[in-house]
Each structure stands twice: as C-alpha cells, then as structure tokens.
C-alpha cells in the first residue's frame, strides 16, 4: 500500500467517471497541476490538500489513502464500490459542516495553500539550467511568488485583527513564499533580479531610499527583484546601484 498506488487509483476513478482535471479543480478547489502530481505520486501533498480533495468529492476523512486498497487488475465496478463506500451520509455531512469551517478566514488560507502548491509544482518542474527555457521559467515562478506573497500579505491584513490563528498561518505562508523566492533567485545568480535583490539587501537601506537612488517606485523595485521586466530607462541606474553594493 503506497501513496503512489492511491494516486493511480484516483486517476483510474477519475477516468472511469469521465471527469477531466478541470472538473476535479472545480469540485475540490485544488489546481489541475497539483491533482496531476497526486495522481502520478510524484510527491506527498500537504494534509490540507488531501482534506480539500476528500471534502470536494464528498468523502469521509482518510478515504484517499484507502484507495491504495484498490486492485489495479480488478474491474471498474470494484473501484466504484470502494469509492462509493467513502461517501458521507447526508445527515453526517450536515453535522460535519459547522459554520466555522465556512468562515472567510478559512477560505483565505485554503486559497493561499492552493497557490503555494502551484508554486511548488512550478519549482519541481524547472528544466535543466542548459535548457533555453530555464531562465524564463524561473522568472515566471519568481513572479508567481511575488504575486502570491502580496495576496497573502493582504489576506493577513484582513484577518490579523479578527482571527489570530489564521493570521499566524498566513504570516508563516509569507515567510515560506519569501524562502521560495530566495531559492529561485539562487538558481539564476547572475540575473538582474538576483543581483538587484542582493544589492538591496546588502545596502541596508529602506525601500523609499532605494527608490530615490534608482528612480523606481517601491512596486517597480519589487517587481524587478522578483523577475519582472526593468522599466524603460532604468537599466543604467539599477546597474550603477548594483555596482555600488556588489563586487
């Protein structure tokens, strides 16, 4: 019994019931890429992702891993029977959905976790450094990190004064996203994004002063540090700032 077996059984069940990855995404709120990773058994997902999968399919908690019991050689009816046994009875479903599970802060956390799963998938599928697409793929992942971090920070601002538990989860997600951004920058150390980011950190200067020195707004500066395009006419100022801070 392995996680890979459960993922393979999930794929067989999806195909048998005529569900596309788009259908699964709509039912569960999990990205198609993450569902594909689960089906292939590439890596173990977060427990919260499995919980969302089970909830979206109307299954009892812990049902996903029981899919590993499915015999790959058995007929489809046996798989149907196994999956049907996971279904929550209507009365149980009502009692298992207290109002607290539907509050806005839970939705915020679920969305952020789904985005983080997507970024993890992007990182996991980075091509080799010799591939012509390597730099553009890293930059795309960097931009996703920056966007999701901004979304998460905004979500924290909404939840911070009302729900301490959710706020703590969101703040940790911001830290996790910054760690992923730094990991991606380390893959392209000679890029403008990596060198400008390193120069900004080494300078010890606050963002408003860096903006004055480079002629960039705070938003433009963060975009460049995260793989975005350099605004027209700013290349020379950024290069001068980087030279002043890095060897």
pLDDT in tens, 98-143: 333 334 556 667 778 877 887 887 788 788 899 888 888 888 888 8
Q: What pLDDT shows up at residue 107?
A: 65
- Residue 43, judged by CB atoms within 10 A of its CB (0-12, 13-18, 19+), counts as exposed
* Residue 50: how many other CB atoms lie within 10 Å: 20
Residue 176 has pLDDT above 80, yes or no: yes
Segment 155-182 mean pLDDT? 84
Residue 87 has pLDDT above 50, yes or no: yes
- Please say whether the beta carbons of 138 and 188 come within 8 A: yes
Question: Chain-wide mean pLDDT for the chain?
Answer: 82
The end-to-end CA distance of the chain, in Å, is 54
Q: Quick one: fold of 3-86?
A: 434 Repressor (Amino-terminal Domain) (1.10.260)
Residues near 127 by beta carbon (within 8 Å), at least 6 away in sequence: 133, 134, 137
Task: Enter the tokens of residue 177.
Answer: 């996203």
Cα 148 to Cα 173: distance, rounded to the nearest angstrom:
10
Task: Enter the tokens of residue 59.
Answer: 């299954």
Cα 247 to Cα 245: distance, rounded to the nearest angstrom:
7
Q: What pLDDT shows up at residue 18?
A: 80
Residues near 246 by beta carbon (within 8 Å), at least 6 away in sequence: 195, 198, 199, 202
């Amino acid at each position: 019994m392995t996680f890979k077996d459960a993922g393979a059984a999930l794929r067989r069940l999806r195909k048998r019931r005529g569900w596309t990855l788009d259908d699964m995404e709509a039912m569960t709120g999990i990205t198609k890429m993450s569902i594909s990773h689960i089906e292939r058994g590439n890596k173990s997902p977060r427990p919260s992702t499995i919980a969302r999968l089970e909830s979206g399919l109307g299954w009892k908690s812990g049902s996903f891993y029981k899919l590993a019991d499915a015999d790959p050689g058995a007929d489809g009816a046996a798989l149907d029977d196994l999956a049907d046994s996971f279904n929550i009875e209507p009365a149980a479903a009502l009692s298992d959905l207290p109002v607290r599970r539907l509050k806005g802060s839970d939705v915020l956390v679920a969305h952020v976790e789904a985005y983080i799963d997507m970024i993890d998938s992007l990182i996991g599928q980075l091509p080799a450094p010799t591939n012509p697409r390597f730099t553009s793929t890293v930059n795309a992942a960097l931009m996703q990190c920056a966007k999701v971090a901004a979304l998460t920070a905004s979500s924290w601002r909404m939840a911070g004064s009302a729900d301490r538990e959710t706020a703590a989860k969101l703040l940790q997600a911001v830290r996790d996203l910054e760690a992923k951004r730094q990991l991606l920058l380390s893959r392209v150390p000679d890029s403008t994004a990596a060198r400008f980011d390193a120069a900004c950190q080494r300078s010890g200067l606050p963002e408003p002063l860096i903006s004055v020195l480079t002629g960039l707004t705070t938003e433009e500066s963060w975009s460049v540090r995260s793989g975005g395009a350099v605004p027209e006419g700013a290349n020379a100022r950024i290069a001068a700032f980087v030279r002043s801070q890095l060897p």
